[in-house]
């Protein structure tokens, strides 16, 4: 974490939890992007604790393309996941930042 309430953490390598979250929202992300992804592999993640958690995920979608996906997970008990927004046309070298 950034050490500040509501601040966004530094980007770090994605883990199994990040990939699981990404897998659960793939269809939502494809709908927002207006296209299907041949793959959807989490590469990096940053988080922001709000009234729930925002996940900012850099994902490899195949063919050298990457997207940045902002996913919101609500507080327990529901912990529902929803895609807030997506940025397309990204590359592996584009930094993952709050959006």
Tell me what the mean pLDDT of segment 79-96 comes to: 96
Residue 80 CB coordination number (10 Å):
10
What's residue 5's pLDDT? 62
pTM: 0.89
Domain boundaries, given as residue ranges, for the chain: 12-90
Local confidence band at 6 (pLDDT 50, 70, 90 cut-offs): confident
d(CA 36, CA 39): 9
Within 13 A of 90's CA, how many CA atoms are on the CB side?
21
Phi, psi torsion values for 16, nearest 5 degrees? -60, -35
Task: Give the Cα separation of 96 and 56 in Å (integer).
Answer: 7
Residue 2 pLDDT greater than 60, yes or no: no
Residue range 24-80, pLDDT digits in tens: 999 999 999 999 999 999 999 999 999 999 999 999 999 999 999 999 999 999 999
In this predicted structure, what is the pLDDT of residue 3? 44
Classify domain 12-90 by CATH number. 3.10.450
3-12, 18-27, 38-47: least confidently modelled range = 3-12
């Amino acid at each position: 974490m950034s050490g500040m309430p509501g601040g966004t953490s530094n980007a770090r390598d994605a883990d199994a939890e990040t990939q699981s979250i990404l897998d659960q929202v793939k269809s939502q992300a494809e709908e927002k992007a207006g296209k299907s992804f041949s793959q959807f592999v989490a590469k990096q993640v940053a988080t922001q604790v709000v009234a729930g958690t925002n996940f900012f995920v850099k994902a490899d979608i195949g063919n050298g393309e990457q997207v940045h996906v902002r996913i919101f997970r609500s507080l327990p008990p529901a912990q529902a996941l929803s895609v807030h927004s997506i940025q397309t046309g990204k590359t592996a070298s584009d930094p993952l930042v709050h959006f």
